[in-house]
Amino acid sequence: MAESRSAEWTEGIPSRRVVVMGMARTGRAAAAVLARRGAEVVATDMKDIPGLREELPREVALELGGHREETFRRCDVLVVSPGIPATDRFIRLALASGAEVISEIELAWRLCPAPVAAVTGTNGKTTATTMLGAILEEAGFRAPVGGNIGRPLVDVVEKEGQEADFVVSEVSSFQLEWAPTLRPRVGVITNVTPDHLDRHPDMDGYAAVKARLLANQGPGDAKVLNADDPFTARYLPGGRQAALAFSRTKIPEAGAYVEDGWIYLRIGGDRQRVCAAGELAVPGVHNLENFLAACAAAGFLGAGPDAMARLARRFKGLPHRMEPVAEIGGVRWVNDSKGTNVGATAMSLESVEGPVLLIAGGTDKGSDLSPMIEPMRKRVRTMVLIGEAADRFEAFFRGRVPVERAATLHEAVRRCAAAARPGDTVLLSPACASFDQFRDYAHRGDVFREAVRALAKEGAR
């Protein structure tokens, strides 16, 4: 299902000098694809990366252990890794020298022959992206998935784009900063809650970056937005594209919604029943919202309600996202290490039935903690804090819920095991980043799993 992109740009790749800045997964993939297409590529990183030479085509020039100003002055195109802020002096140098600055997502879009369905949002975007790809596959479409979800989108496009009916991508706000021509056939924004405010001036600025996903859309495209989220709902009116909403509490003119316990789809006509909301195999209101978003997007692309219902009944969720780890002595242990911001943790608490012992803390993002007050009041019996954020979290929550401190995650697990009663849930949902004690959120979740499974082996409750 070929689509036209800028043929002049892609055909001109062999004449371009391209610098790829940052050699994490997306940077390596971009450098390799561009070199194979004939560009003069320099790959640069501030760190020395042993073994990188063997991973890249020999045509790629490597500059490791620091950036060289002359390299950035001479480039035609700069491909920037998402971890590098727009204020970086080398990016500014390239711009001042006349270079075009793009992200790997933008590069993939320009090279992709198939329509792109793109999903962004503060929370839920990985699950919604996975669900969307799975529904499309269930409906008989070829819909490979990539982007911020793990596999670089440019790699997906290069290897599977030609045969794909759709390419499905998760997109972060950082990737959208340098995506000036990205035009997804369907653009989904799951929600916008406080996060990454070190990179964005305020919530309005953060929401505006997310909304760039929709900026280039036109007739034949669709935006899919959360009608229950004030920051996304403001983008429903206006625009030349179709507007679809998803909601747990409202009945939109078009989109996916819940009414009387049933999930419905309305795309350009009469409503269609998908399944009962209770049939969704993964628990929690946040997963219901993710599924509604995926249904609205997939419905616009041609998937029917039967495919959606089949996916609802078999989708088991993703690691580190409200992932059941064990039940020991009547106590459920749940790994929500991906709950790296206040909004995510508040939503996860709303999804748990019964009393909760909450393990929170880590690298503090400085966000307003007040959205956690009500779900904490209703559900949390004890809060055990770890990491750098423990002081601020304790000062805020002391007097609202019982608070304990633990030096490590292993100690926090032990404290919860000693205090938990049958019917309780011990929830790791930190509301913080992980970098004070762990490589990333996945490492933190893995450590939690190991600690809980060690308890099970000991026969502890």
Looking at the annotation, which residues are catalytic? 125, 148, 196
CA pseudo-torsion sign 364, 367, 373, 379: negative
Whole-angstrom distance, CA of residue 187 vs CA of residue 174:
16
Residue type, 28: R
φ, ψ of residue 310 to 5 degrees: the values are -65, -40
Residue pair 118/171 in contact by the 8 Å Cβ criterion: yes
String of b and e for 295-329 (b: at least 16 CB within 10 Å)?
A: bbbbbbbebbbebbbebbeebebbebbbbebeebe
CB 360 within 8 A of CB 431: yes
CA-nearest of 320, 323, 328 to 452 is: 328
With 0-12 / 13-18 / 19 or more C-beta atoms within 10 angstroms meaning exposed / middle / buried, residue 256 is: buried
- The answer to whether 47 and 65 have CB atoms below 8 angstroms apart is yes
β-strands 116-120, 331-335: how paired? unpaired
378 belongs to an annotated ligand binding site: no
Residue 232 annotated as part of some ligand binding site: no
Residue 223 annotated as lining a ligand binding site: no
Dist CA 120 CA 182 (whole Å): 13
Question: Where are the strands (E) in 16-140, listed by range?
Answer: 17-21, 40-45, 61-64, 77-80, 100-103, 116-120
C-beta atoms surrounding 85 within 10 Å: 12
- 123 assigned ligand-binding residue: yes
The response to whether 122 counts as a known ligand-binding position is yes
Q: What whole-number distance in Å separates Cα of residue 359 and Cα of residue 64? A: 39
Query: Residue 357: what residue type?
Result: L
Cα–Cα dist 63/71, whole Å: 9
**Is the separation of the CB atoms in 81 and 21 below 8 Å?**
yes
129 is in an annotated binding site: no
Burial environment of residue 413 by CB neighbours within 10 A (0 to 12, 13 to 18, 19 or more): buried
The residue whose two tokens read 């429903």 is 236
Q: For residue 380, list its beta bridge partners.
A: 356
Q: Is 8 left (phi over 0), alpha (psi -120 to 50) or beta?
A: alpha
> Does residue 124 have a known ligand-binding role?
yes
Pick out the residues of the known binding site: 121-127
Pick out the residues of the known binding site for ATP: 121-127
